[in-house]
Structure formats: structure tokens, C-alpha cells
Amino acid sequence: MIQTPPEHQRQARLLVAPTMMKLLTPKSSTATPEFTIMTNEQDDVVDPSTTETEDAVAVEEAEAAIEHDVEALLTERDSFREIAQRLQADFENYRKRVATQTSDDIDRATGRIAESLLPVLDACEAAFVAHPAEIEPLFNLLLTELKKQGLEALDLNGQTFDPAKADAVIHEEGEGDGNGNTVVTDVLRTGYTWKGRVLRPAMVKVRG
């Protein structure tokens, strides 16, 4: 292969340069080259209506989930409230029952004490007939104190006979109260009640 001297190569480039400039220079010096860039913009375009629909569906689903959670919470709240009210009612009934039972227990205990004193009252009442001046102050004092605690003497003389309050130990012939009822004509032993309950029935004589 024949090599061209460097001097000849330089001259050849100088001769070719003007021709290449003409080929590369645009026809109009003021024209701006136009370039077309192909992209996939059409593939990336999203339909706005589709986006809005998806957003609306998402909002509806979120609202439905929230509404479901709220309903569940309200149901749970109502359930707890019902349980609390039932427990409160049960506790209130229990408290009343215990209070009543305690009160009844106290009444029975004190009633037994009062019942144990009834023979003393009977003795005072019997002695009062023979020695009223000496016995009356003591008898009245004892009876007054017991009355303060709930003891009451049954006043049955002349009343319709009530077997819940008296035992008829003597029955005499005769007319009762005019309505066919038996009448108490005499009290042989005084009966007593304790806070409304018969502590000891009386012993009476009846007619009718």
C-alpha cells in the first residue's frame, strides 16, 4: 500500500473542506432545524374519568368501613351499658336484701331480748293489783323503755277475737258483736307485739 506524504494529506483536506461545508450548511441561514422525537406519551395518558371513578369507589369503601366500625362500637357500647345497668340493678337489689335481712336479724335478736323480759312485765302487772303505789313507777318505767324499742301491749278487750293475736282459753255462751263474730270479754294475760309482729299472743276469754 502506497502511503501519501503528510504534506499531500494536508492539501487534500483543504481542498475537500469547502465542499463538505456546502453540504452541511442549511439552505436558509435563518431556518431552525426541526427534530421529531417519538415518545410513548399516548401510552402514559390516564383518563380523568377513570381516576375520578376509582377515587369515588375508594371513598365509598372507606365511608362504608367507617360506618361499619361506628355501628360495631355503638352496639358494643349498648351491650356494655346494658350489662352495667343489670349489674347495678342486681347490686342495688342485693344491697336492699342485705339491709332488710340485717334489719330483720337485729329485730329478731332484740325481740328475743324483749320476749325474755315479758315474765318480768307479767310479774309487775300481777303485783300492781296488790301494791299499785309501789309497783306502778317501776312497771311504767320498764314498759316505757321497751315501747321506745318497739314493744306494744295488745289492747284486745271488747274487740273482735283474732286468733292471730290471742288464744281463747275460756269461752262463754252468749251473743258476740251482733254480726256473728266472737268478742273478747276479758284479757287473762297481756299479749305484746314487737315492731308490728306478734311477739306473744294474749290469753283471753271470749263470748259468742
What would the pLDDT profile of 116-138 be if each residue is shown by its tens digit? Answer: 999 999 999 899 888 889 899 98
Dihedral sign for Cα atoms in the order 108, 111, 112, 115: negative
**Residue 168 CB neighbours (<10 A):** 16
Backbone angles phi, psi at 195, to 5 degrees: 55, 45
Distance of alpha carbon 151 from alpha carbon 120, whole angstroms? 14
Map residue 54 onto helix, strand or coil: helix
Three-state SS annotation for 149-185 = HCEEECCCCCCECCCCCEEEEEEECCCCCCCCCCEEE
Q: Model's pTM, two decimal places?
A: 0.55
pLDDT of residue 6: 55
Backbone angles phi, psi at 58, to 5 degrees: -65, -40
| Beta carbons of 186 and 148 less than 8 angstroms apart | no
The β-bridge relationship of strands 192-194 and 151-153 is: antiparallel
Return the domain boundaries, the chain.
151-208
**Closest C-alpha among 122, 201, 192, 203 to residue 170:** 203
pLDDT of residue 2: 47
| Beta carbons of 147 and 114 less than 8 angstroms apart | no
Q: Which CATH number fits the domain 151-208, given the four candidates 2.40.70.10, 3.40.50.300, 2.30.22.10, 3.20.20.450?
A: 2.30.22.10
Map residue 113 onto helix, strand or coil: helix
Q: What is the pLDDT of residues 157-192, one digit of tens each?
A: 999 999 999 999 999 988 888 788 899 999 999 999
pLDDT of residue 35: 45
| Beta carbons of 188 and 169 less than 8 angstroms apart | yes
| Beta carbons of 121 and 190 less than 8 angstroms apart | yes
- Give the chain's residues under pLDDT 70: 1-49
Map residue 29 onto helix, strand or coil: coil
